[in-house]
Chains A and B, each alone.
Chain A
């Protein structure tokens, strides 16, 4: 079964969103678009407005200004929303006295989905026979799987998951990452939030970074890393003076940093190797300094992070 909005270019569109709770502004002038076929990471420190934005997208909270659309339609106007959007906001939001299977069953009933689909998603998320036990006895990992199953129930083209790996064991984290990738590869739009960039490092294709309710970056993952990585190179050579002279002539800013290492700014690595080859300067190692996604993210959010962040909800 193909997701129903696979071909949608703008699966989720957030336009000029503003939302206040009392005197606290949770989201301010936020705009971004989530596309089908890729995992979009939605990152920002705790309290940055991620959950608020997701609740607005799902029609749960009303923004003071702006709007959020699913395939061009406000969520509240969707008639069988589970067939178009699957969401996991809070895995603990289940009745402890109700079995996981029955939780999925009432969801299926509400959107006219067949009972067979319930058993399918239970198998897909690996809940198995635990599905028939009371959800009150589930571990956090099982609750997350149940939440993912609920999101997948209507085989939707859009998935919205709020901190799905929070509190999961490493095995669970690996499982969810794999699921997210394969769901995106099936053509779905996947919006997944996290307050830890590292969680998304190998998963997300695209990132929407927010801090204190404002958009900080809306960029492909590769580009974010590249922009944060400085062009600084490290050269290890026994002929330091020779190398410094040759590279300075080529326009680089060169500094000696240790016994036999230099740092080079201003010219790319290929130019360094060709200059050194021309001048016949021997060297043992040339390394480019690549920023991790986490460093890039910290760099980006440093200014925006409110260390005494007002607890927003």
Chain B
């Protein structure tokens, strides 16, 4: 039999024959699940009480009965930002959230047709100036674009069921709010700056012809849901209509919690227990001189330490895997009852690729924590010192995360061993420090380096 396999069997025998360690490993998984469930009962959200859209812009419109169309050339679009839009819109009513279809140009992606906060259909890639046309035929809205107002190209057709006979039709301009999250000494602060875009339209024409006046309205949401906007405006001279508008028209997910991460909150306690367990497996040998027996049985010390690290990693992997499965299985339904449900917090099944990554990742995370614990215990030779250092590294950033300036918190979150926790995240949020696998990679790098140092040290020094 391969000599390393022998060492693995020896280290496994060592581990399983100390009942306290086995109990600790089982308890780590159980405590993770129980704590996750307890934390879940304390977490709730009202995210689903809010609409899943932002619908704010400046609308220059008229009422139109039955079929018809609007044509205009967007001559220019200036100021605002990359998300600014200028174009044509059919809207059931001139209020936020009302069904709509719109064709527009945007600096970021040219001509687009979209309706009801859904996916957009792209047209030509060019920006202003461009001719646009929006036509209602029963419950179908067709959009066309043209470079010269003569030769038209179809952008797309969207159905709008249950559209009443009379709708609002006209020109719109929007420009999204720019937000920066700031974090300082425990409080997070969202700094939002409204932007204003100005577009000029000419060759504006309605079919059938209308003699009514254009109405110029800021479409805004109730204050609790809205983002700040600037007042828009409309001026007309010599057939050129200048419209200024602020706001955005888009689907939004409400709430900035990573509910999977919330469901696995208790895993941090399991991690603490794995730290203690991993360090003890090596420090107990060092303290009692048992390490000499180990090294007389296996004079190749590096391999002996490696075998121990592998066994602790395997045990910790199972703890993480079971702990994550049980946590999610128990805590997620509880969170769903507390408001974390679709549409803003859809419940992912365990077979979802993201959940598979999280659950296997939890195992890998604890496995690497185990390796780091064994390595640090061997390197420092003092259990208390190694445990203290490990807990400082993993718990301090978690506890003081929100107290630090965002840049510092994010640096810690992607450059220190705690980056490994990123493997559990399922959303990229404003304070996300790193990506899941990159974060786990950072932890793996730390574990490897400390293990190499530990092997180097135990091979050199007297046992």
Q: Is the CB of B6 within 8 A of A110?
A: yes
Residues of chain A contacted by B285 (CB below 8 angstroms): 95
Cα distance A81–B299 when bound, in Å? 8
Cα distance A90–B289 when bound, in Å? 8
B17 at the interface (CB under 8 A from A): yes
Which of A81, A97, A99 contacts B297 (CB under 8 A)? A81
Which of A61, A87, A94 contacts B290 (CB under 8 A)? A94
- Which chain B residue shows the least CB distance to A61? B462
- Segment at the A interface, from B8-16, B175-183, B388-396, B437-445: B8-16
B284, B294, B299: which has the most chain A beta carbons within 10 Å? B299
B293 at the interface (CB under 8 A from A): yes
Count A-B pairs with CB separation below 8 Å: 92
> Interface residues of B, CB < 8 Å — how many?
30
B6, B288, B293: which has the most chain A beta carbons within 10 Å? B293
Q: Is the CB of A60 within 8 A of B295?
A: yes
Cα distance A55–B296 when bound, in Å? 9
| Chain A min CB distance to B377 (Å) | 15
A93 in contact with B288 given A102-B13, A110-B6 (CB within 8 Å): yes
Q: Is the CB of A55 within 8 A of B292?
A: yes
- Which chain A residue shows the least CB distance to B3? A79
Q: Is the CB of A90 within 8 A of B10?
A: no
Cα distance A82–B7 when bound, in Å? 13
Q: Is the CB of B292 within 8 A of A89?
A: yes
Cα distance A120–B189 when bound, in Å? 72
B1 at the interface (CB under 8 A from A): yes
The 0/1 profile, CB within 8 Å of B marked 1, for residues 97-117 of chain A is 111001101110111100000
> Interface residues of A, CB < 8 Å — how many?
35
A179 at the interface (CB under 8 A from B): no
| Chain A min CB distance to B199 (Å) | 77
Which of A58, A81, A93, A97 contacts B18 (CB under 8 A)? A97
Cα distance A78–B297 when bound, in Å? 10
A177 at the interface (CB under 8 A from B): no
Which of A55, A81, A89, A98 contacts B17 (CB under 8 A)? A98
- Which chain B residue shows the least CB distance to A85? B296
Cα distance A80–B21 when bound, in Å? 28
- Give chain A interface residues in 51-106, CB to chain B under 8 Å: 55, 58-62, 75-82, 85, 87, 89-90, 92-95, 97-99, 102-103, 105-106
- Give chain B interface residues in 238-295, CB to chain A under 8 Å: 284-285, 288-290, 292-295
Q: Is the CB of B13 within 8 A of A105?
A: yes
| Chain A min CB distance to B323 (Å) | 24
Q: List 9 A-B contacts (CB under 8 A).
A: A58-B296, A59-B296, A59-B299, A60-B292, A61-B462, A81-B299, A89-B293, A92-B289, A107-B10
